[in-house]
Amino acid sequence: MLPSLPLPKDIVRPPETILVNITPQETRVAILEENNICELHIERNSGHGLVGNIYLGVVRRVLPGMQSAFVDIGLERAAFLHIVDILEQRKNPEAAQRIEHVLFEGQTLLVQVIKDPINSKGARLSTQISLAGRFLVHLPQEEHIGVSQRIEDHEERHNLRGRLNSLLPPDSAHGYIIRTSAETATDAELQADIGYLTKVWQDIRSKAKTRPAGSLLYQDLPLSLRVLRDMFSGNTREILVDSKENFAKMQDFAAQYVQDAPEKIKLFNGERPLFETHNVEAEINRALQPRVSLNFGSYLIIEATEAMTTIDVNTGGFVGARNFDETIFKTNLEACHAIARELRLRNLGGIIIIDFIDMASDIHREAVLQELAKALSFDRTRVTLNGFTSLGLVELTRKRTRENLSHVLCEPCPACQGRGRLKTAQTVCYEIQREIVRENRRFDAKEFRILASPEVIDLFLDEESQSLAMLIDFIGKPISLAVENSYTQEQFDVVLV
């Protein structure tokens, strides 16, 4: 396994503009850096994201061999709980627990979703409850106070712990994690966050005593308000909202919990739609394509599969540098920033393999790796960069927290079942002929009729007319043709008459 490379932490982020587009059916949030869209979040009313939700679950199956369990939380698919996400194991990671000694079938327990269902996989759960506020994350089952790793100054970390301890009641047995945004928070703001989170936890405990198993006890804030809690920072230039009703809700929420935000939240009243005005709609459509054009004719090909995502860098027609090595080097450097942006925009996660154009110079390879590390450091999601493999490929991983953009907006093609390829009309013609030979051996039909797409029937009437005549002669029975305009090129039926 390759050692991971550290990402720069002292990067100056460019100012951000946040666009919030709200319709009765969905909420979309786009984050722009220097007028380029780099993140897109979509929440549909028909399929709210589940991360952060707290349920009263029921253990349906315990799997000792996998050290995991399936828990019914009232969704279509049972959710997945691994031993490492059970509170007792997290508190004592060195003392290995056996899941069959901790859980039993039919047991009810409080669980929180830490990963949304992805493809055929159910949601992933944890029994360690955490409640996010503006400045703090409340850990009601623990007692320690942690500080975000992004706050690196030792003295600042110590001061923040001391401030929080002074605000907590003497008999408080609850834990907290201090978020990065708390660096600039006042004592009054921290106290308000403590009060809010304490009330939320009391409400959850009260519901857990009265609600039936499988009930939703707590749901995270809607996307329009999570923008203020999780994405707003001192780097945010403005937040444009195109809904009067939600503009008022965001103003009220900001006035209570995000003191610097109200003056930056603005109601958008443009003649054209918000996303269209800022060219976001066109960027979304482009992000669904595998090809990403770079400058001077070079481009990326991005292919996402369930196992991993591969990114191929190509020079295309770029010959602008003095020699070929310089051309390759400049193309790879430009690709670093485009790749980092596409990972965020498309929300690609898991294993990612990048095939940069081969570089002969070790100095160039190291420079490209450093440039990629710099570009990836802007990502809010955790990224681990492992460097070049022995095959000359760059390997990295990006934490999966929600569906990627393609899965949210698209579905597999009904014609090719998601393969991205269709059998040729000629291939289908030969399949039909083999089917007729099989059916002729099984049944004593007087005649066969072929129902197929126009492309296949046209081929039978033209280039494959001779092979069809030979088949008729071989089976000694007539074969008729009928066009079905609703059929895809791969669909056909052989009817016995």
**The tokens of 375 are what?**
């570009």
* Sign of the alpha-carbon torsion through 236, 241, 247, 253: negative
Element (H, E) at 448: strand 448-452
Q: What's the gap between Cα 138 and its chain centre?
A: 25
Average pLDDT estimate for 108-113: 94
DSSP notation for 159-189: HHHHHHHHHS-TT---EEEE-GGGGG--HHH
Q: How confident is the model at residue 186 (pLDDT cuts 50, 70, 90)?
A: confident
Per domain, the residue ranges of the chain are 16-45+222-280, 53-218, 289-402, 425-496
One of 2.40.128.640, 3.30.565.10, 3.40.1260.20, 3.40.710.10 is the CATH number of 425-496, namely 3.40.1260.20
Under CATH, to which class is 53-218 assigned? mainly beta
pLDDT digits (tens, 9 = 90+) for 375-405: 998 888 888 999 899 899 999 999 887 788 9
pLDDT digits (tens, 9 = 90+) for 59-92: 999 999 999 999 999 888 899 999 999 988 777 7
DSSP code for 258:
-
Range 71-76, long-range pairs (CB < 8 A, 24+ positions):
71/109, 71/111, 71/125, 72/213, 72/214, 73/111, 73/113, 73/123, 73/125, 73/214, 73/216, 74/214, 74/215, 74/216, 75/50, 75/117, 75/122, 75/123
Task: Say yes or no to pLDDT of 482 above 70.
Answer: yes
Give the separation between CA 486 and CA 497, rounded to whole angstroms.
Answer: 22
CATH of domain 16-45+222-280: 3.30.420.60
pLDDT digits (tens, 9 = 90+) for 449-479: 999 999 999 999 999 999 999 999 999 999 9
pLDDT digits (tens, 9 = 90+) for 405-431: 998 898 888 888 777 889 999 999 999
CA distances (Å), 50 to each of 229, 296, 297, in order?
A: 17, 43, 41
CA distances (Å), 351 to each of 311, 354, 385, 485, in order?
A: 11, 10, 10, 42
Give the separation between CA 207 and CA 196, rounded to whole angstroms.
Answer: 17
pLDDT averaged over the chain?
Answer: 89
Neighbours of 466 (CB within 10 A): 8
pLDDT given at position 317: 66
Q: How confident is the model at residue 119 (pLDDT cuts 50, 70, 90)?
A: confident
Candidate from 320-334, 361-375, 455-469 with smallest mean pLDDT: 320-334
Q: How confident is the model at residue 150 (pLDDT cuts 50, 70, 90)?
A: confident
- Given a contact cutoff of 8 angstroms between Cβ atoms, the answer to whether 386 and 354 are in contact is no
**The tokens of 105 are what?**
């079938």
One of 3.40.630, 3.30.67, 3.90.1200, 2.40.160 is the CATH number of 289-402, namely 3.40.630
Task: Say yes or no to pLDDT of 321 above 70.
Answer: no
Amino acid identity for residue 491 in this structure: Q
